[in-house]
């Protein structure tokens, strides 16, 4: 008989009942090949004595095994592993010399270059992120109230069924009005696709526009996840310089005379990572070039709502009369990162195609969540949240910039950003950002090591230092750790 006393260990403090625990252990022994078809199981009395539980508990476990199709009972003979199960190769129980995962069971594409997993900031108490909103400011209670209210209503039950991959019609109507009054973007609901954040919009646009061998123009400094998304399609990146006025459109024009460019990816408002804003002159020229050379413009406007010193420029999409612009925005970046709501605005045919692809990876979004956001937009709560946040973030930007100037003045160079949720800071080249990040972590602070912003053409010794998610006392604490870490390098 197998050493059941060792093999079957139950946890009396577990929320899982004892008979289910025993049943699950037997299932594991069968699937691992330790128990084979037709093998007899110990009697309920013997097993109960071996593992120290009641005999009735063992009987219940055996009944569960039989009901699930893992075992069968023969009158007066006992309980057996189901004879019809396929024979499994036995696994050595105590052979720790070899890993069972040494060789993959099958092969898959797993070389994604430098794509890095997200940092899990949910488990970090103090962080200088690269520019996220303060989730403590978001009216989450109001959102959840509407979510619960919708789910309880009779008509709200309809939202639990499959719906359009384009997203909630009510949210698209709300966004239609919001985009019109906030940024002069006049569009129809048929031109709006609700996405799981701006990253999904970038992915869908790339899948539709790009094929292996195509070229897409991007900034020398650029949003790394967008670069990775374009490379994943097989396209190559054509790097265009970015200065204090945004992407150098004159350089792009010279490239267009020599190269076939399928699309241009641009972050004209608060460019990532450097936070610069593209001049209106360059915006108009870019639109003219798109018309002349017939390329698409993917406009990533991830944090339009946070501009502090003057009115923000209207998006390219608002002044595009030739339908060259695919406009991508995010509610996640202005509300809370984990609540994945974004949008794409483009021609009706493009949006239909994008929604078709979206169905292949995500049948639809969270309709109840989208409907709850629609209520907040229609009730004016989102406008109130944006206005309140804008005041808070402007104050935090000013305080944070004063603090880093006072605490790090001998180590850094930066410009106060006109908008956005982070400051682009260049460190003295003698400072190792990897060492700074490691030292700060030991003292309880998460701060990046700068590697995310680097690419084959851009290797700054710089960081985006987010201020929006930090209260003043947290800024003081975080920057004190940065200063202490720098002094120890």
| pLDDT tops 80 at residue 356 | yes
Q: How many CA atoms lie within 13 A of 32 on its CB side?
A: 13
CATH of domain 121-132+384-487: 3.90.1150.10
The candidate with the shortest Cα–Cα distance to 133, out of 296, 282, 336, is 336
Determine which of 35-44, 363-372, 454-463 has the lowest per-residue pLDDT on average.
Answer: 363-372
Average pLDDT over every residue of 153-175:
81
Model confidence over 383-424: pLDDT tens digits? 999 999 999 999 999 999 999 999 898 899 999 999 999 999
Which pLDDT belongs to residue 297?
98
CA distance 112 to 290: 30
Residue with the larger pLDDT of the pair 322 and 109: 322
- State the DSSP H helix or E strand holding residue 472, giving kind and residue range, or none if neither: helix 472-487
| pLDDT tops 80 at residue 143 | yes
* Contact by Cβ (8 Å): 253, 289: yes
Which pLDDT belongs to residue 351?
96
| pLDDT tops 70 at residue 347 | yes
Mean pLDDT of the chain: 90
Which pLDDT belongs to residue 329?
94
* Contact by Cβ (8 Å): 365, 159: no
CA distance 44 to 474: 60
- DSSP output for 58-111: HHHHHHHHHHTTSEEEETTTEEEE-TTSPP-----SS--SS-TTSS-SS-----
What are the residues whose beta carbons fall under 8 Å from the beta carbon of 281, sequence distance 6 or more? none
Neighbouring CB atoms inside 10 A of 338's CB total: 10
Model confidence over 217-252: pLDDT tens digits? 999 999 999 999 999 999 999 999 999 999 999 999
Task: Assign 470 a pLDDT band (cuts: 50, 70, 90).
Answer: very high
Average pLDDT over every residue of 306-313:
85
Tokens read off for 287: 């639109």
Which pLDDT belongs to residue 19?
96
- Phi/psi zone of residue 377: left (φ > 0), alpha (ψ -120 to 50 degrees), beta? alpha
CA distance 288 to 278: 15
Cis peptide before 2 (omega within 30 of 0): no
| pLDDT tops 70 at residue 170 | yes
Which pLDDT belongs to residue 150?
83
CA distance 302 to 107: 36
Which pLDDT belongs to residue 399?
97
Architecture per CATH, 140-382: 3-Layer(aba) Sandwich (3.40)
| pLDDT tops 60 at residue 277 | yes
Task: Assign 112 a pLDDT band (cuts: 50, 70, 90).
Answer: low
Q: What is the domain partition of the chain in residue ranges?
A: 4-81, 121-132+384-487, 140-382
Which pTM was predicted? Answer: 0.82
Which pLDDT belongs to residue 121?
63
Residue % of the chain over a pLDDT of 90 = 75
| pLDDT tops 80 at residue 122 | no
* Contact by Cβ (8 Å): 382, 175: no
- Phi/psi zone of residue 214: left (φ > 0), alpha (ψ -120 to 50 degrees), beta? beta
Question: What does the buried/exposed string (b/e) look like for 182-216 if buried means 16 or more CB atoms within 10 Å of the residue's CB?
Answer: ebebebebebbbbbbbbbbbbbbbbbbbbeeebbb
Architecture per CATH, 4-81: Orthogonal Bundle (1.10)
Which pLDDT belongs to residue 102?
58
| pLDDT tops 60 at residue 282 | yes
């Amino acid at each position: 008989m197998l050493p059941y006393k060792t093999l079957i260990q139950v946890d009396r403090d577990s929320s899982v009942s004892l008979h289910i625990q025993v049943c699950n252990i037997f299932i594991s022994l069968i699937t691992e090949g330790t128990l084979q078809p037709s093998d007899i199981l110990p009697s309920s009395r013997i097993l109960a004595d071996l593992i120290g539980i009641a005999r009735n508990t063992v009987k219940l476990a055996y009944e569960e095994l039989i009901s699930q199709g893992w075992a069968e009972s023969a009158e007066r003979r006992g309980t057996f592993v189901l004879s019809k199960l396929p024979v499994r190769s036995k696994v050595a129980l105590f052979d720790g010399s070899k890993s069972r995962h040494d060789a993959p069971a099958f092969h898959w594409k797993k070389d994604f270059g430098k794509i890095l997993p997200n940092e899990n900031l949910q488990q970090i108490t103090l962080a200088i992120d690269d520019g996220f909103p303060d989730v403590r400011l978001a009216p989450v209670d109001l959102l959840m109230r509407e979510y619960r209210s919708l789910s309880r209503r009779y008509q709200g039950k309809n939202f639990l069924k499959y719906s359009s991959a384009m997203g909630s019609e009510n949210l698209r109507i709300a966004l239609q009005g919001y985009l019109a009054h906030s940024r002069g973007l006049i569009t129809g609901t048929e031109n709006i696709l609700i996405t799981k954040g701006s990253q999904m919009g970038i992915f869908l646009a790339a899948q539709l526009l790009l094929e292996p061998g195509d070229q897409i123009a991007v900034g020398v400094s650029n949003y790394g996840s967008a670069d990775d998304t374009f490379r994943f399609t097989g396209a190559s990146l054509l790097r265009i310089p970015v200065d204090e006025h945004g992407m150098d459109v004159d350089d792009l024009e010279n490239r267009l005379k020599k190269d076939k460019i399928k699309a241009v990816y641009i972050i004209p408002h608060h460019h990532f990572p450097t936070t610069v804003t593209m001049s209106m002159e360059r915006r108009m020229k870019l639109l003219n070039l798109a018309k002349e050379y017939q390329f698409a413009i993917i406009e990533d406007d991830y944090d339009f709502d946070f501009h502090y010193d003057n009115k923000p420029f209207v998006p390219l999409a608002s002044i595009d009369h030739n339908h060259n612009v695919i406009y991508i925005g995010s509610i996640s970046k202005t509300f809370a990162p984990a609540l994945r709501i974004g949008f794409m605005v483009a021609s009706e045919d493009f949006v239909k195609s994008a929604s078709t692809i979206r169905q292949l990876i995500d049948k639809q979004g969270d309709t109840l969540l989208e409907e709850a956001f629609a209520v907040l937009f229609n009730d004016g709560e989102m406008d109130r949240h944006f206005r309140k946040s804008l005041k808070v973030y402007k104050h935090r930007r000013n305080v944070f910039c004063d603090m880093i100037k006072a605490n790090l003045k001998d180590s850094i160079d930066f410009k106060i950003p006109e908008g956005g949720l982070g400051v682009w800071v260049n460190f003295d080249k003698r400072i190792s950002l990897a060492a700074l990040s490691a030292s700060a972590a030991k003292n309880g602070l998460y701060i990046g090591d700068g590697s995310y912003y680097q690419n084959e053409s851009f290797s700054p010794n710089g960081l985006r230092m987010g201020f929006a998610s930090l209260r003043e006392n947290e800024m003081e604490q975080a920057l004190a750790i940065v200063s202490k870490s720098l002094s120890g390098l």
